[in-house]
Amino acid sequence: MRVAETSVPGAFVVTPEQLPDERGVFYESFRTDVLEEAAGRTFTTRQINYSSSRRNTLRGLHSVTSPPGQAKYVTCVRGAVRDIIVDLRIGSPAFGRYDVNVLDAGSARSVFIPEGVGHGFLALTDDACVCYVLSTAYVPGTQIDIHPLDPDLALPWGFTEPPLMSPKDSRAPGLTAVRSAGLLSRWAQEIP
């Protein structure tokens, strides 16, 4: 596996070494020891989620308050998505900086997202299936939603027609309002 830090501190892109043969392909999608060595922190799995989306579906921008905080290991296991992470940690030297990756089943590339960093994606194919390995279980009332089309963030989603969004994401406040509400994590809080 190749693990490379993104422009968002503490977030990593993980690209597995694929072993193809006449039957298909084999690869290690996730190794705690490799990720922990690169990230310099532990990552314990508490919950695994999947979403399936039709082409041009925009999901996000989501994070979780601290506590409990939530790190994620995100992989597109079918189809393809344009995945975007945004540093939302108050006091981070990279606050507001984003990183964009195409995650697709063919490359098996994944993204590790630390606590306090926002996440969203645009489905590039029909039936795009995303797996989320989470460090904490879902706790009602801790979800942070930021409008993914907030002009203050100006994220490069790359859609050519209006995306399909949930009512919750369509009504989400912008970054300024979420920050003013005191919902964002502090930079020091995200370091375990």
Taking only the tens place, the pLDDT of each residue in 122-143 is: 999 999 999 999 999 999 999 9
Retrieve residue 149's tokens.
């089309």
pTM: 0.95
Predicted pLDDT at 189: 46
Domain limits for position 23? 2-190
Calculated CA dihedral for residues 49, 9, 187, 134, nearest 10 degrees: 10
Count of the separate structural domains present in the chain: 1
> Which DSSP helix (H) or strand (E) runs through 37?
helix 32-39
- For residue 90, the domain's CATH number is 2.60.120.10
Rounded to whole angstroms, the maximal C-alpha distance in the chain is 56
pLDDT digits (tens, 9 = 90+) for 85-125: 999 999 999 999 999 999 999 999 999 999 999 999 999 99
Six token digits for residue 187: 């930079």
The percent of residues above 70 in pLDDT, for the chain, comes to 98
Annotated active-site positions, please?
62, 132
Q: What is the rounded CA–CA span in Å between residue 118 and residue 110?
A: 16
